[in-house]
Structure 1
Amino acid sequence: MEFFIVYLLMSFFSIVIVYITIHSLIKAFNIAINRREISKQKYRFLVSSSILVGLSIATVLPFGYYKLVETIW
């Protein structure tokens, strides 16, 4: 039971960290587009690729945590 709680907490905090990182990147991209430092096409590409990478990391990372905690326990 405590193994499951540790696994859930690790997964939750990693997802929160990934969310905060992606949110900060998107805010920086918004600032860049408002200052006309990047084009709209580049903005769309950067935002969509950031979201895609963040989602893939958030889905793969818990499996890595599961294997890590399983070997330690």
Structure 2
Amino acid sequence: MCICVNCRHVHNCVTYQLIKKQHNHRQNLNIIKNSFIPKKTLININISYVNQNTYYDWDLIECLSFVEIPGQWIFYR
């Protein structure tokens, strides 16, 4: 599970936006103002094969800029 969902910076983090893009989520057409660039992130990519299809699951598992606020993603605009 991506730790971003409980991070204070989830709303303007460039790494979270990258992970969303890799998960093929709808992209926000607005440019993020005050983009936040986190320090020393570690992304884990799990690869699975189902019925000759390849699936990738991207998760941020470590970030020195992480500031926990449980449920912060709920308030995402």
Length-normalised TM-score, structure 2: 0.29
Q: Which one has a larger percent strand, Structure 1 or Structure 2?
A: 2
Q: Which one has a larger percent helix, Structure 1 or Structure 2?
A: 1
Structure number, greater radius of gyration: 1
Length-normalised TM-score, structure 1: 0.30
